[in-house]
Amino acid sequence: MQWTKDFSEKYSAFNISLSSLGVFPPGGEHNETAILYLTPSQSKDLIDFYYAFHEKLDDYCGNLGWWYSIKFGYLAIHSTIGIFEVVQMQKAMEMIFEQRIFGLAQIVSLEVYTYPMKLIERFDLMKV
């Protein structure tokens, strides 16, 4: 947590473009649910930030799964919206589309969560 705080204090907020939705498919013991997430367009600022953060994150929790590691080699940059029953996925997507959330946005903080989705702490980036 201290390293995440220190890391956040070194970076300024930056712009991103939220351009699409993604789904982490059902699997393992949770085959009735899937994870719906927003996917930002890849930019140099975002990729540099992601890799810088994951260099240390992988030391701490890279053993939680290959998908969450930069060692995997394929970026999984995303912002989780929620975990949904597969049969409710279309309804969830319709609700998201109604909110008109796509377009320009700004990364202003890093947040650390438990699984499933309980905020532990938020670390603000420097204001531009």
pLDDT tens for each residue of 74-110: 777 888 888 899 999 999 999 999 998 899 999 999 9
Residue 62 pLDDT level (bands cut at 50, 70, 90):
low
Q: Measured between alpha carbons, how far is 37 from 82 in angstroms, rounded to an integer?
A: 7
Q: Measured between alpha carbons, how far is 57 from 43 in angstroms, rounded to an integer?
A: 21
Q: Measured between alpha carbons, how far is 61 from 69 in angstroms, rounded to an integer?
A: 8
Mean pLDDT score of the chain, rounded to an integer? 87
Q: Domain locations in the chain?
A: 2-124
Which sign, positive or negative, has the C-alpha torsion 68, 70, 75, 78? positive
pLDDT at 106: 93
